[in-house]
Structure formats: C-alpha cells, structure tokens
C-alpha cells in the first residue's frame, strides 16, 4: 500500500474544503460542518466479517451497487461511511431515537463516476431537524477523498442567511 504524503494530503484536504465552500450561494450560510476520517482496513474488516451484516445494516442497496462496481470497493465504502458521519455531524442531530446509517444515503449522480456526491435523507431525519431545530432541512454539500489507507469526508449543512 502507498504511504500518505502529508504535504500532498494537506493540499488535497484544503482543496476539498475550498470546493465545498464555493458551493454556498448568495443568501445562504453554513449552518454546520462535519468531518470524518476512516481507515479503509477497518471498513474492510467489518465488510468481510463472517455473517456479512455490516453492509446491509449500514448502506442502502444503491450504495452497495455503486461500491461493488468499483475496482477497490472497500475504499469507496470507507468514503461513504466518512461522508455519512460528516453529514450527521453537520446536521447537529441528537441520538435520541433509534437510528440507522441507511437513513443517510451518499450517491454519485449519473453513472456514479463523476460529479460531487449527493446526499439523500429519510423523512425521519427531515422531521427530526424540523422538530429539534425548528427549521427546514438544510441543503447538504459533501466532498470525499481517499488514499489506499484512509477515506476523508467533509460535509456542510447550508441554509438561508
């Protein structure tokens, strides 16, 4: 496996954040930021565990199809996992009800090969935001990057100023 080059990774992470912030439109503000980093080998171990329930509990069928179609599925599962964690943090939700990681879905538009990841949330999460925060669910921007060893994601929750 390739080792991370800290200077190169730092530059890559800076560009992730810059790209996301450029997606904030006039009249909008950042309501929350979430970041997460995941070791790919941790996700591989969970994915390959006997019984195989991790994928079905954590990812939607569309997410599984998208990842299994890649040359290195574990890297992409790790990226989606980091993005889900980042989104949850950006939304600033409380763990006050049973929650499934499938309630946050991270998919790429079109063929799944190009463009920024898009976030889909269940109505349960949307209702929780309305109830807890008294506002319309925010627009979400996500950026994912990875090496052979780590996946990193940044999420911004965007709303009216």
Residue 82, domain member (yes or no): yes
pTM of the model: 0.85
Query: Is-contact 109 115, C-beta < 8 A?
Result: yes
Does residue 31 lie in a domain region? no
Q: Which domain holds residue 49?
A: 39-160
The answer to whether residue 113 is domain-embedded is yes
Residue by residue, pLDDT tens for the chain (161 residues) are 445 565 555 555 566 666 677 778 788 889 999 999 999 999 999 999 988 799 999 999 999 999 998 999 999 999 999 999 999 999 998 877 778 999 999 999 876 566 789 999 999 999 999 999 999 999 999 999 999 999 999 999 999 88
pLDDT attached to residue 9 = 54
Region for 56 from its dihedrals, namely left if φ exceeds 0, alpha if ψ lies in -120 to 50, beta otherwise:
alpha
Q: Report pLDDT for 131.
A: 92
Instruction: Please list, residue by residue across 17-47, b when 16 or more beta carbons sit within 10 angstroms of its beta carbon and e when fewer do.
Output: eeebeeeeeeeeeebbbbbbebebeebbebb
Q: How many domains does the chain have?
A: 1
Query: What per-residue confidence (pLDDT) applies to 45?
Result: 95
| CATH value at residue 61 | 3.90.470.20
> Could you report how far apart the first and last alpha carbons of the chain are, in Å?
45
């Amino acid at each position: 496996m390739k080792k991370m080059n800290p200077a190169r990774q730092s530059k890559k992470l800076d560009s992730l954040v810059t790209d996301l912030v450029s997606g904030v439109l006039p009249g909008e503000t950042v309501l929350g930021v979430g970041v997460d980093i995941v070791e790919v080998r941790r996700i591989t171990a969970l994915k390959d565990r006997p019984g195989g329930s991790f994928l079905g509990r954590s990812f939607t069928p569309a997410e599984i199809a998208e990842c299994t179609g890649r040359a290195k599925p574990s890297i992409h599962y790790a990226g989606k996992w980091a993005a889900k964690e980042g989104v949850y943090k950006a939304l600033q939700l409380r763990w006050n009800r049973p929650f499934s990681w499938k309630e946050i879905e991270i998919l790429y538009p079109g063929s799944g090969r190009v463009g920024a990841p898009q976030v889909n949330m269940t109505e349960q999460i949307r209702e929780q935001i309305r109830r807890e925060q008294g506002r319309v669910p925010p627009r979400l921007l996500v950026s994912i990057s990875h090496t052979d060893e780590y996946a990193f994601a940044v999420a911004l929750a965007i709303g009216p100023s």
